[in-house]
Amino acid sequence: MKLILALTLTASLSLAQNQNAVSVSNKVFASMNSKLDARLAESLRELSELRTKIAEQKIPMSEKLNHAEAVLSQARVEYDDVRRDLDNRTLTVTTIRKEIEQRAREKDYLTTLLGEYVRNFETRLHICEIDRYKQIVEDARLAPEAADLHPDGVFAFQFNLLEESLTRVEELAGGTLFHGRAAGEDGLVKPGEFLFLGPIALFASDDGSLAGVADQRLGSLEPTVEPFDDRTMAEMTAQTVKNRRGRMPFDASLGNARKIEQTRETLKEHIAKGGAVMYPLLGSAALAALIATVKWLTLAFVIMPRRSRLRAFSQAVRDKNFDQACELAKKLSGPAGRMLRAGAQRLGQSREVVEEAMYEVVMDVRFQLNRMLPVVAVTASCAPLLGLLGTVTGIINTFKLITVFGSGDVKMLSSGISEALITTEFGLIVAIPSILMYAFLSRKVKSIVDKLEKLAIQMLNDLMFEQAPPPDYESGKELSETDSEQNNHIEAPAPALG
């Protein structure tokens, strides 16, 4: 390539310097041409050698290239495998992490569940079993809070309690006997044996002085034995606990019957729980009952004249035989006789005078019959108010006890609550009968007064009519309130008697 360039440059220079001296330079050109041919031939030889070398080196380099490509392909395969394995490992790590988190949540849930089971197990234990399972329950309860304890150890304590609870269930089905302590009604704690069968726990002391049903008493940390009233049942319990077999008493109500029996009280005890308000309440009730009884007997024995005598008196008034009417009126008894005698003594005078005389007697009778009845009405009105007063005082006492003792002990607050409810109860018990008695007695008084007014109106009518037929007392069995209301419209002056 260099030779060709040099030749070209030389030819160009020669042509440029001397175009006119062609002939002179032909020799030079020939000489240069031969040199250039020689160089061209040399260049062609070098080119051929170079091509030969290239051909000789191309195959090994191609082989090297193929080998490199094969190595690269293998490297790519290995890279893909490594990348795939890395992705798989990353996915595996993620899955493992998720599984670890899930197992951690399951562990926390199981720990919480077992902790809840421990608490529920402790609350479901009978009072006589607390000492028996005290250490196991305490270890299982405190295990999650121990910082130096491995989680396997926590589960070990909790599963130990679980196994003990399953063993306890199996024992309850057939009964179990274990040693323990219980207190009697006198408060003395004695050692002995418990026979625990289902929900029933029987206890017999070692010295044989205490035997009965063991149960929990409010405010006591020891099981309390409630002895039997029957000595035979106590001996039966002691022998069964001692011999581990035999006949034993069984309470189908699980102690509820005994508790219900303890809540029963006499009327005197029930009244005493009502507090100081019960005294005026019962006093007013007794006074109202006494007055109502006396008034009922008084009204029951009010005598009304016979119809035959009333017929004769009415006929004498119609016949204007005033002397005979006075004599017949003297024979009539009761408030009706008093009223007719007062009217008969003024026969011959004006109607207004007779009417006023009888009206005076009717008013006096009405006053006598209604006497003391307002006491019953006042009792009916005041009894609920006294009951409400007792309710308020009972609630006040309850809040005082809450301030002093708190609200944890309900039995301590029962006195104030009982006072509030009992006074309300007796207030209604007194008020309702009082209202009924007052309504009945008032209606009875009104009935008697209405009958007197009817007799007075009939006498005035007999006095006014000249030739009217005598009244038919046989047609009506009694002087009813309906007749009284109808006869009130016969004469205009009649309302003056009512």
State the DSSP string of 162-226.
HHHHHHHHHHHHH-EEEEEEEE-TTS-EEEEEEEEETTEEEEEETTSS-EEEEE--TT-SS-EEE
Q: What is the pLDDT of residues 159-214, one digit of tens each?
A: 888 888 888 887 777 677 788 888 877 777 888 888 777 777 778 888 877 887 77
- In this structure, the answer to whether residues 73 and 35 fall within a common structural domain is yes
Cβ count near 494 (within 10 Å): 19
Residue located via tokens 């006095």 = 463
- In this structure, the answer to whether residues 362 and 314 fall within a common structural domain is yes
Q: What is the pLDDT of residue 410?
A: 60
Residue 350 lies in a domain: yes
> In terms of pLDDT, which residue wins out, 364 or 126?
364
| Mean pLDDT, rounded, for 32-60 | 84
| Mean pLDDT, rounded, for 286-292 | 92
Residue located via tokens 């070209």 = 8
List the domain range (segments joined by +) for residue 83. 2-10+27-116
Q: What is the pLDDT of residue 303?
A: 80
pTM confidence score: 0.51
**405 Cβ partners below 8 Å, 6+ apart?**
412, 413
pLDDT-wise least confident of 257-271, 371-385, 435-449? 257-271
Q: What is the pLDDT of residue 61?
A: 85
Residue 391 lies in a domain: yes
- In this structure, the answer to whether residues 315 and 452 fall within a common structural domain is yes
Under 8 Å between Cβ of 282 and 293? no
| Mean pLDDT, rounded, for 82-99 | 87
Cα distances (Å, whole numbers) of residue 189 to 183, 231, 240, 394? 4, 21, 21, 37
Under 8 Å between Cβ of 163 and 178? no
pLDDT-wise least confident of 24-28, 188-192, 274-278? 24-28
pLDDT of 498 over the 70 cut: no
Q: What is the pLDDT of residues 395-451, one digit of tens each?
A: 888 777 777 766 655 666 666 777 788 888 889 999 999 999 999 999 989 988 888
Q: What is the pLDDT of residue 2?
A: 57
Q: How far apart are CA 450 and CA 14, in angstroms?
A: 177
| Mean pLDDT, rounded, for 470-493 | 39
Count of domains in the chain?
3
Given 249, 266, 290, the domain boundary residue is 249
Residue located via tokens 């189908």 = 252
Given 84, 116, 148, the domain boundary residue is 116
Given 116, 151, 186, the domain boundary residue is 116
Q: What is the pLDDT of residue 9?
A: 60
- In this structure, the answer to whether residues 244 and 287 fall within a common structural domain is no
Q: What is the pLDDT of residue 413?
A: 64
pLDDT of 480 over the 50 cut: no
Residue at 81: amino acid letter: D
- In this structure, the answer to whether residues 219 and 73 fall within a common structural domain is no
pLDDT of 474 over the 60 cut: no
Q: What is the mean pLDDT of the chain?
A: 77
Q: What is the pLDDT of residue 289?
A: 92
**Sequential DSSP letters for 272-332:** HTT-TTHHHHHHHHHHHHHHHHHHHHHHHT-----HHHHHHHHHHHHTT-HHHHHHHHHT-
Q: What is the pLDDT of residue 490?
A: 32
- In this structure, the answer to whether residues 491 and 428 fall within a common structural domain is yes
What percent of the chain stands above pLDDT 90?
5
- In this structure, the answer to whether residues 415 and 483 fall within a common structural domain is yes
What percent of the chain stands above pLDDT 70?
81
Residue 453 lies in a domain: yes
Q: 496: pLDDT confidence band, cut at 50, 70 and 90?
A: very low
Q: 20: pLDDT confidence band, cut at 50, 70 and 90?
A: low
